Amino acid sequence: MKRIADEVLDLRGVACPANSARALLRLESMASGHILEAIVDDGEPIELLPRALDQEGHELVARKRDGSHWRLWIKAK
């Protein structure tokens, strides 16, 4: 199933917590209900970003492992 995002944010190579901060800033600038596709590294980023999204009220719609990184589809609050 192909997912279509309104915006894509490539955060590969961006360390924590900067990757969460960048994702949250982008989501705050998006219209409510729009989808951001965030690409993050395995390890700490995939563990911490979903928690930060939840704390800020954004919805993690789906996630998929893609090689050595993850693709997250996030609905802006």
Which residues belong to the active site?
Answer: 16
What is the dihedral sign for C-alpha 70, 27, 61, 8?
Answer: negative
Question: Encoding tokens for residue 70?
Answer: 């993850």
CA angle 56, 14, 54 (to 5 degrees): 15
